[in-house]
Amino acid sequence: MSDLVLTAPILEETRQHIEKQLVEAGVHTVLLIDEAGNVIASSGRDLDKLDTTALAALAAANFGATAQIAKLIGEDDFSLLFHKGKRDSIHFSKVGDKFILVTVFGDDVSLGLVRLRVAEVAKTIEKVFGIEKV
Partner 1 sequence: MALIDLSRREIHCKIVYYGPGRCGKTTNLIYIYNAMGDKTRGKMLTIETKGDRTLFFDLLPLNLGKVKGFDIRIQLYTVPGQTIYEATRKLVLKGVDGIVFVADSLKVRQTKNKESLEDLKKNLQAYALDIMEIPVILQYNKRDLVNSPIPTLTIDELQQDLNQELQTTYFEAAAVKGIGVFETLKEISKRTVRYVAQKHLLGK
Question: Residues in the site for partner 1, rule: CB under 8 A?
Answer: 1, 3, 7-8, 11, 34-38, 40, 51, 53-54, 57-58, 60-61, 64-65, 68
Nearest residue (CB) to partner 1, 1 versus 73: 1
3-state SS, the chain, equals CCCCCCCHHHHHHHHHHHHHHCHHHCCCEEEEEECCCCEEEEEECCCCCCCHHHHHHHHHHHHHHHHHHHHHCCCCCCCEEEECCCCEEEEEEEECCCEEEEEEEECCCCHHHHHHHHHHHHHHHHHHHCCCCC
Q: Mention every residue, 6+ apart, whose C-beta is less than 8 A from residue 124.
A: 17, 21
Nearest residue (CB) to partner 1, 68 versus 134: 68
Nearest residue (CB) to partner 1, 48 versus 108: 48
Shortest distance, position 54 Cβ to partner 1, whole Å: 5
Task: Please answer whether residues 19 and 88 qualify as being in contact, where contact means their C-beta atoms are separated by less than 8 angstroms.
Answer: no
Shortest distance, position 5 Cβ to partner 1, whole Å: 9
Nearest residue (CB) to partner 1, 61 versus 111: 61
Shortest distance, position 115 Cβ to partner 1, whole Å: 26
Shortest distance, position 55 Cβ to partner 1, whole Å: 10
Nearest residue (CB) to partner 1, 36 versus 111: 36
